[in-house]
Amino acid sequence: MNQVTITYEGDEISCDPDKTILDNLLDQQKSVTHSCKKGSCLTCVMKTSHEVDPKSTAPLKPTMVEQGYFLSCQQKPQSGMVLSAPESNDLFIKAQIKSVEYLMGHVFRVYLRPLEDFNYRAGQFLNIKGPEGEVRSYSIASIPADDLIELHVTEHKHGIVSRWLCNVERTGAEIEISGANGDCFYMPGKPEQAMLLIGTSTGLAPLLGIIRDAIDNGHHGKIVLYHGAVRDSGLYMRRTLSKLAEETANLTICYGTLEHSDDNDNAVGNIQDIALSKNPNLKDWRVFLCGDPEMVKKTKTKAYLADAALSDILADPFELRTTL
């Protein structure tokens, strides 16, 4: 097979041109920060002055692209490419963990205070550097007017960063966070447009920020939130959501679980099927989909087939680290 040679951090590396740069480097035991390998988390950025595939820069901010950043999981190697690892100062700022609070099921709420300038749109996500430098993404549940950044984190049984972050003893610790990323947020304009928001588990976090932002921007079209989980214990913050719905005439909230519960009258089934059966025609609607990647992928297609314009479907799949 024809190999191509690239230079990474000064080392010449012979690469399989059919694999991504990230996979080539991982195959050769190079330590490269990454998580999803699907272009969602933006943790695998590196720098080059070589021309790259637009797909590998599309999700990045223009300021990062100008500095030569691209996603190594979305780029195949080209002969003669010279690459360097990202500079931590370009990507991360310090933040303090103000509190870690157990909510329900496996979900914790983490409040952060950035110690440097941090600008964001409600619904975007930030990346957090874990104990050994692993980087993972978390969506922002707060709105910029809030004093602190609010995150909802599912604690994964064997998860490196989520278990580290959900430790209440970490309150007061300094951590490193990236700037805010992603385009799943509320754009002011068309305040009369109907909005459908579907989230599974902590997919609620960005949707909560988006709803609060829309309300603050005077959105008066109907807003319908569907929150789904496997079982009741995944439907956290119901009291907060009920209060918000009581205060907001145009907001309706519906819940669904895969498992039936005697304690609650949630609809039973996939939350996306429940939502789309009640709202079969999405012409002129704005649709937000966050959480389980399978749900996001399938519902994007279904929303499009239900007549939502592609430009009105905004999504954040919570891709987990992949070892494939």
Ligand X SMILES: Cc1cc2nc3c(=O)[nH]c(=O)nc-3n(C[C@H](O)[C@H](O)[C@H](O)COP(=O)(O)OP(=O)(O)OC[C@H]3O[C@@H](n4cnc5c(N)ncnc54)[C@H](O)[C@@H]3O)c2cc1C
Amino acid identity of residue 189, one-letter, is G
> Closest CB to ligand X among 57 and 137?
137
User: Does position 159 bind ligand X by CB under 6 A?
Assistant: yes
Residue of 15, 34, 150, 206 that binds ligand FES (CB under 6 A) = 34
Amino acid identity of residue 116, one-letter, is E
User: Does position 296 bind ligand X by CB under 6 A?
Assistant: no
User: Does position 160 bind ligand X by CB under 6 A?
Assistant: yes
CA distances from 199 to 43, 132, 248, 291, 293 (A): 23, 30, 19, 6, 11
User: Does position 205 bind ligand X by CB under 6 A?
Assistant: yes
Which residues, 282 to 311, sit near ligand FES by CB under 6 A? Answer: none
CA distances from 189 to 63, 217, 307 (A): 25, 9, 20
Give me Rg for the CA atoms of the chain.
21
Coil/strand/helix, residue 128: strand
Q: Which token pair is 134?
A: 């692993």
> Closest CB to ligand FES among 71 and 81?
71
User: Does position 74 bind ligand X by CB under 6 A?
Assistant: no
Q: DSSP H helical segments within 74-194, as ranges? A: 88-91, 160-165
Which residues, 63 to 92, sit near ligand FES by CB under 6 A? Answer: 71, 73
Binding mask 49-68 for ligand X (x = CB under 6 A): --------------------
> Closest CB to ligand FES among 138 and 226?
138
Using alpha carbons, select from 275, 270, 260, 265 the residue that is nearest to residue 306: 275
Residue of 13, 15, 21, 40 that binds ligand FES (CB under 6 A) = 40
Amino acid identity of residue 16, one-letter, is D
User: Does position 244 bind ligand X by CB under 6 A?
Assistant: no
Q: How far is the CB of 164 from ligand X (least distance, A)?
A: 8
Using alpha carbons, select from 103, 242, 115 the residue that is nearest to residue 168: 103
Q: DSSP H helical segments within 1-126, as ranges? A: 21-27, 62-66, 88-91
Q: CA 163, CA 309: separation in Å to the nearest integer?
A: 38
> Closest CB to ligand X among 159 and 228?
159
- Which segment (48-56, 79-87, 156-164, 221-229) binds ligand X by CB under 6 A? 156-164
* Chain residues that interact with ligand X, rule: CB under 6 A: 35-36, 40-41, 125, 136-139, 152-154, 156-163, 202, 205, 316, 318-321
* Chain residues that interact with ligand FES, rule: CB under 6 A: 34-44, 71, 73
